[in-house]
Chains A and B, each alone.
Chain A
Amino acid sequence: MSVDSESVVGKTRQRAAAVVAPVFSPRSERERELRRIVALCVPFLVLVLFSGFFPLVEMARISVSEAQFTTRGFTLKAYRTLATDPYYLSVAFNSLWFAAATTLASIAVAVPVAHALEKYDLPGKRAFVTVMSFPNSLPGIVAAFMIIVLFGNTGLLTNLFAVLSGQSATTLAIATTVAGLFFAYLYSMIPRAMLLLRGTYAEVNNDAEEAARSLGATPFQTFRYVTLPQIKPGLIGAFILVFRTGLAIFGTILILKSLLVWTLQINRELATDFNLARASAMATVWFLFVFVFTMLALKYTSAEVSIG
């Protein structure tokens, strides 16, 4: 078979050519189109293969390896520890409830914010949007620092409350407590939730809301029965994505250290005795859980993911 000059001949491609002959010697316009689609997708798939798939497979192999420094044999020791040791179960529980609670809180804040930005005639709206999108570009370690600026020992709010209440600043500082961590998570998650919900709000039908209002519905009833059903798919989509974000947070917790969550424990496995097998097992469990969760959630809910 002939391979034309456009395509780079490679071993894998030749093997693939045997399977999808039309891609390499198209005879119809439909087959030529198929070849173009494949050519457009190949670079991305190569990247996913080399920087995503291979490393993740290697990680899974390390997690069942019998030896510490080479990958060989097969043992489920690491997984057995994760599934039975109460310590790891509590770490998993911490991760899940904390991510769920912060996701709910950040969406509860992002809905009114997106609502106000879309519906109300506010001065300086564009500036608000810019300011609230800014933290989307900040890494978690900076979010943690922002919380120290507000709630740390020398923090603005800490000292403000100290002056008002007369108590010492160190007793009032909450930056390194679970409450402080909660705010640190919100610092990263509210802007993300808002980005997603603004996309959803942009598609809401304003006429239906106006009709409801003129028929005598209160603003809350209008929101509850007219707006909410329309933004529901977007809300579910935002919940899924923000929950994933919450589970993946690592830099923030590495600095504040106030709750032992799964990602922090992964780092501790490496930092204390370089137990790569167990760290890999934990990362594999994380990956599979989030992968399955996302797939099921996208398939079985009306979730819609739109980014505005």
Chain B
Amino acid sequence: MSTEFDGESLSSRFGRQAVTLVLIATVLFLASPVILTFVSSFATDWTGVLPKGFVTVQNWQAVIFGNDIGANVALGSSLFYSVGLALGGVVINLIVGVPIAYAVARYDFWGRDWINIFAILPLAPGIILGIAFLRTYPDLSTSGIALVIGYSLLKAPYMVMAVQSSFESMDLQQLEESSRSLGASWFRTFLTIIVPNARTGIIAGSIISWTLAAAEFNFSYIVYSRGTPPLSLFLFKNITNSSFLNAAAAVSVFFLLIAGVTIALQIIGHQRSGSTV
């Protein structure tokens, strides 16, 4: 109705549509292969545009119990091994991440900004740290301890960020001073007042750093030498050596893991928004 009107520019006519289109294209680009992988893991054949021959569980069986072709390792041992390794990493992350997040959020001190940058920026990525670990801790790498230590350094930033966001929504100074004035020592205040109040951030940080440690491939690939392969190496073997549909089933196992974690995080987020009213 206002085409004759000077102010009606190209951007006001098509801007919003174009931006929305980019959003939709991005969502499709990111989501469609995930959905297709999951769906095709139940198919017997994928030669045309879409997979066909539903529904079969033979791909899942091959992944979970192992078969003699391709990657003949069963999922169970790798999954449990990685669950344990990643848990070890989370325990270390809790011990180092919660205090440093508190120090940065609560106190003002010399070098605080740099400490903060070091705490939230990964020092070195998986592949570089893997090379560095090769001969520094050769005895540890066979036992999995090297993996745990490496995971904890690589994933510490996610713990620190999650806990920090919890601390930032609390009046730390007031909490600390009230508790101290009622007679609690500083250490007791930290353990029994500060930490429990930041539990949503701590739980969220634990879940995130656990998932990312279980998914860490680059570091595991370089450092792993023998024994049970971690989950990400199990995935790698399936992607490179198995049939396409078997690989799809292996990747789908991983998707289920991440989806479960995402749902858990949403529930925690929901509780948080409910409790702060």
In the bound complex, CA of A223 to CA of B120 (Å) = 30
Check: A91 CB closer than 8 A to any chain B CB: no
Check: A134 CB closer than 8 A to any chain B CB: yes
Check: B81 CB closer than 8 A to any chain A CB: no
- Interface residue tally of chain B, by bracket? 35 or more
Known A138-B215, A216-B7; contact A6-B149, beta-carbon cutoff 8 A = no
In the bound complex, CA of A6 to CA of B187 (Å) = 9
Judging by beta carbons under 8 Å apart, are A266 and B131 in contact? yes
Judging by beta carbons under 8 Å apart, are A287 and B49 in contact? no
> B23's contact among A34, A113, A159, A307, by CB below 8 Å, is which?
A113
Judging by beta carbons under 8 Å apart, are A37 and B132 in contact? no
In the bound complex, CA of A220 to CA of B12 (Å) = 8
Known A48-B153, A120-B16; contact A145-B32, beta-carbon cutoff 8 A = no
In the bound complex, CA of A130 to CA of B31 (Å) = 10
- CB neighbours of A270 from chain B (8 A): 131, 222
In the bound complex, CA of A48 to CA of B132 (Å) = 13
Judging by beta carbons under 8 Å apart, are A55 and B49 in contact? no
> A44's contact among B97, B117, B262, by CB below 8 Å, is which?
B97
Check: B205 CB closer than 8 A to any chain A CB: no
Judging by beta carbons under 8 Å apart, are B217 and A141 in contact? yes
Judging by beta carbons under 8 Å apart, are A131 and B31 in contact? yes
Judging by beta carbons under 8 Å apart, are B29 and A187 in contact? yes
Check: A301 CB closer than 8 A to any chain B CB: no
- CB neighbours of A287 from chain B (8 A): 124, 128
Judging by beta carbons under 8 Å apart, are B218 and A250 in contact? yes
Residue of A nearest to B23 (CB): A116
Judging by beta carbons under 8 Å apart, are A51 and B23 in contact? no
- CB contact list, B212-227 vs A, under 8 A: 212, 215-218, 221-222
Measured CB to CB, the closest approach of chain A to B247, in angstroms, equals 7
Judging by beta carbons under 8 Å apart, are A139 and B100 in contact? no
- CB neighbours of A116 from chain B (8 A): 19-20, 22-23
Residue of B nearest to A213 (CB): B12
Known A120-B16, A144-B239; contact A44-B156, beta-carbon cutoff 8 A = yes
A37-53: contact bitstring with B at CB < 8 Å (1 yes, 0 no)?
10111011011101110
- CB contact list, B199-246 vs A, under 8 A: 211-212, 215-218, 221-222, 232, 235-236, 239-240, 244
Residue of A nearest to B20 (CB): A116
In the bound complex, CA of A59 to CA of B22 (Å) = 44
- CB neighbours of A163 from chain B (8 A): 49
Give the number of residues in A that approach B within 8 Å (Cβ atoms). 89
Check: A272 CB closer than 8 A to any chain B CB: no
Judging by beta carbons under 8 Å apart, are A52 and B187 in contact? no
Measured CB to CB, the closest approach of chain B to A93, in angstroms, equals 19
> A159's contact among B9, B49, B254, B262, by CB below 8 Å, is which?
B49
- CB contact list, A77-129 vs B, under 8 A: 109, 112-113, 115-117, 120, 122, 128
Measured CB to CB, the closest approach of chain A to B45, in angstroms, equals 10
Judging by beta carbons under 8 Å apart, are A145 and B247 in contact? yes
Check: A149 CB closer than 8 A to any chain B CB: yes
- CB neighbours of B115 from chain A (8 A): 41
In the bound complex, CA of A54 to CA of B47 (Å) = 51
> B99's contact among A39, A58, A216, by CB below 8 Å, is which?
A39
Judging by beta carbons under 8 Å apart, are A149 and B37 in contact? yes
Check: B42 CB closer than 8 A to any chain A CB: no
Residue of A nearest to B176 (CB): A36
Known A55-B132, A219-B12, A220-B9; contact A134-B124, beta-carbon cutoff 8 A = no
Judging by beta carbons under 8 Å apart, are A187 and B150 in contact? no
Q: Which of B55-63, B65-73, B134-142 contacts A (4 or more CB under 8 A)?
A: B134-142
Judging by beta carbons under 8 Å apart, are A248 and B127 in contact? yes
Judging by beta carbons under 8 Å apart, are B149 and A150 in contact? no
Known A190-B26, A286-B128, A307-B161; contact A58-B136, beta-carbon cutoff 8 A = yes
User: Which 6 residue pairs of A and B lie closest in terms of their CB atoms, listed nearest first?
Assistant: A220-B11, A248-B125, A55-B132, A40-B103, A146-B33, A218-B9
Residues of A within 8 A of B (CB): 6, 32-34, 36-37, 39-41, 43-44, 46-48, 50-52, 54-56, 58-59, 62, 71, 109, 112-113, 115-117, 120, 122, 128, 130-135, 137-142, 144-150, 154, 156, 159-160, 163, 183, 186-187, 190-191, 216, 218-221, 223, 241, 244, 248, 250-251, 254-255, 263, 266-267, 270, 276, 279-280, 283, 286-287, 294, 298, 305, 307
